[in-house]
Amino acid sequence: MPFELPKLPYALDALHPHISKQTLEFHYGKHHQGYINNLNKLIPGTKFENATLEQIVREADGGIFNNGAQVWNHTFYFLSFSPGGLHEPAGRLAEAISKQYGSFDSFKEEFSKSAITLFGSGWVWMVKKEDLTLDIVQESNAGNPLRNGLLPLLTCDVWEHAYYLDYQNNRPDYLQAFWDILDWKVISGRYEG
């Protein structure tokens, strides 16, 4: 069964002024769709023809991995946003962040620094480890922490196509806006789940 572009739970203009409708039209409508189209062309006749995206991310390599991971990563990223979501973590995730980083503001500072300093293109993740502690992980290109047995909770896309139309090459401004559209109800649910 071919993969399809997931429907966003918000309108394309709902994240404005943090992320513009134009950026979502390109990033979600063209880049994300492009990875799906490529993956659907690559998997017929392979052992991944009927695989889940998680199987592809964990087991594939080459073009199947790159496109499959980008589909998974982008879906995860876009579904973390809401124009009116919860602006801070809640419950056990809030406790885990405070315990490990001292405060939510300290966590945001460390995560932002990791995203700003990632060289080139890639993703920065907050993950839950098997011992229930948290970590901030940088991954280049299509990298995904599922390959290392970690549970993704939050990601920031630092490929330039994620922010160039709105922020040009100013990644720090993009990161500042990123925090304003995250829905911590969704992210906290991932930790609880």
The rounded average pLDDT for each run of 10 residues, N- to C-terminus, in the chain (193 residues) is 94 97 98 98 97 98 98 98 94 96 98 97 97 96 97 97 95 96 97 88
Tell me if 172 sits within 8 A of 94, measured CB to CB.
no
Confidence at residue 134, expressed as pLDDT on a 0 to 100 scale? 98
Confidence at residue 96, expressed as pLDDT on a 0 to 100 scale? 97
Tell me if 15 sits within 8 A of 177, measured CB to CB.
no
* Residue 81, beta-bridge partner list: 182
What is the C-alpha separation between 116 and 121, in angstroms, rounded? 11
List of E strands, 28-150: 122-128, 134-140
Where are the domains positioned within the chain? Answer: 21-78, 91-192
pTM: 0.96
91-192 carries CATH number 3.55.40.20: yes
What's the CATH number for 21-78?
A: 1.10.287.990
Rounded-to-10 torsion of CA 173, 98, 76, 193? -170
Confidence at residue 193, expressed as pLDDT on a 0 to 100 scale? 80
